[in-house]
Amino acid sequence: MARRSRKRGRVRVVKRRRTSLNWNAIAVMLLVTSFGIGVLYLRTSMRRMLQQTRQLEKQVENLIQENKQLQIRMIELSSAERIQEIAEKRLGMVPIQKAPRVVYYEEKRPPRQNKELLAANLEPQNFVSINPSMLLKSAGE
């Protein structure tokens, strides 16, 4: 903008400084730069997370396969044939051909204080197969 000076009669050119424009431009550039850096950071972190997710999915698949194999192995190890073979060969057990029969007697009168049972007080009932521990319980021991 040009002004005339009244005293001297000269035209003087005055230049305005545009400092506010410079600061605005710097602020915009900083804003754009920080936005770009933020976008790059988010993209790289997203890629890293996707890679970790894929690795975890592979681990889950491997663990599922291992679990299936272990279940099959457990079924094989708990088979009746294998257990019978181990019992016969390693432990020296022999299979029972027929279950033993235990004779059960019922008392005519209540047992004595010393818990002794005499053969005279016992009467044979019928032959049944029972557990010997049940016989002891019924005899009062």
Annotated domain spans of the chain? 17-95, 97-138
Residues 100 and 130 sit within 8 Å (Cβ to Cβ): no
Which pLDDT tens digit goes with each residue over 102-123? 777 766 666 555 445 554 455 4
Tell me the pTM.
0.43
Which pLDDT tens digit goes with each residue over 64-103? 999 999 999 999 999 999 999 999 999 888 887 777 677 7
Torsion angle, alpha carbons of 101, 107, 112, 118, to 10 = -60
